[in-house]
Amino acid sequence: MKEVSNAKYNNEWFKKEINASRIKQMMWYFINVIFFISPIIPSSSVKKMLLRLFGAKIGTGVIFKPGINIKYPWKLIIGDYSWIGEKVWIDNLATVEIGKNVCISQGAMLLTGNHNFSSTTFDLIIKKIILEDGVWIGAQSIVCPGIICGTHAVLSVNSVATKNLEAYRIYQGNPAVFIKERIIE
């Protein structure tokens, strides 16, 4: 086995991709800790106001439960009447687009970044995530970088989406596989 040093890790992506000053990033860090990660402030209206202040595009009637973590609000778009559950982590190094009437259940993670494990510099790879209208991401599930969840797709509890989810289908497992059609009556 070849021994590899990560001493040459390339962090240049950060300067190009984050699109925010260090002051803005620091301000968001503290607001995120106090108003979002901490369960002390349960009000969705305060959270919506703060997210919009930092550049997020938030629709009407969006609900934010306590204990959520959002990396960069200026890379977040959420459509009308969506629901973000307790302890959801939106690790949006790239843009995350959440459609209308989407439910992201407790403890789910949306991850836009991964590393090139075959490179000696372990470069970060970032790709946007799109959750189309009516998607349901189950509790403790993970959506990986670059994934598109088609309209009304379901990722069931504790599953991992490593490939795109087709519309009106239910997926389960790690990696998530098609289980059955989603029929809405």
2 has pLDDT over 80: no
The count of C-alpha atoms lying within 13 angstroms of the C-alpha of 27, restricted to the half-sphere facing its C-beta, is 11
Q: Is residue 153 part of a domain?
A: yes
Strand 136-137 to 154-155 pairing: parallel
8 has pLDDT over 70: no
Q: Is residue 14 part of a domain?
A: no
Taking a C-beta distance cutoff of 8 angstroms, is the pair 58, 38 a contact? no
Q: In 41-75, which positions are buried (b, 16+ CB within 10 angstroms) versus exposed (e)? A: eeebeebbebbeebebebbeebebbbbbebbbbbb
Distance between CA atoms of 41 and 3, rounded to whole angstroms? Answer: 48
CA-CA distances (angstroms) from residue 138 to 7, 69, 117, 179?
A: 38, 17, 28, 14
Q: Is residue 64 part of a domain?
A: yes
Distance between CA atoms of 42 and 13, rounded to whole angstroms? Answer: 34
Distance between CA atoms of 65 and 39, rounded to whole angstroms? Answer: 8
* Res 124: pLDDT: 83
Q: Is residue 77 part of a domain?
A: yes
59 has pLDDT over 70: yes
Give me the chain's average pLDDT, please: 92
Q: Give percent of the chain with pLDDT exceeding 90.
A: 78
Distance between CA atoms of 143 and 107, rounded to whole angstroms? Answer: 12
Q: Is residue 81 part of a domain?
A: yes
Taking a C-beta distance cutoff of 8 angstroms, is the pair 168, 153 a contact? yes
Over residues 146-171, mean pLDDT: 98
9 has pLDDT over 60: no
- CATH of residue 105's domain is 2.160.10.10
Taking a C-beta distance cutoff of 8 angstroms, is the pair 141, 158 a contact? yes
Residues 81-130: tens digit of each pLDDT: 999 999 999 999 999 999 999 999 999 999 999 888 888 777 888 999 99
Range(s) of the domain holding residue 161 = 19-179
| Number of domains within the chain | 1
Q: Is residue 35 part of a domain?
A: yes
Q: Is residue 105 part of a domain?
A: yes
Q: Is residue 163 part of a domain?
A: yes
* Res 134: pLDDT: 98
Taking a C-beta distance cutoff of 8 angstroms, is the pair 136, 155 a contact? yes
Residues 18-35: tens digit of each pLDDT: 788 889 999 999 999 999
* Res 5: pLDDT: 55
1 has pLDDT over 80: no
* Res 121: pLDDT: 76
* Res 122: pLDDT: 77
* Res 126: pLDDT: 92
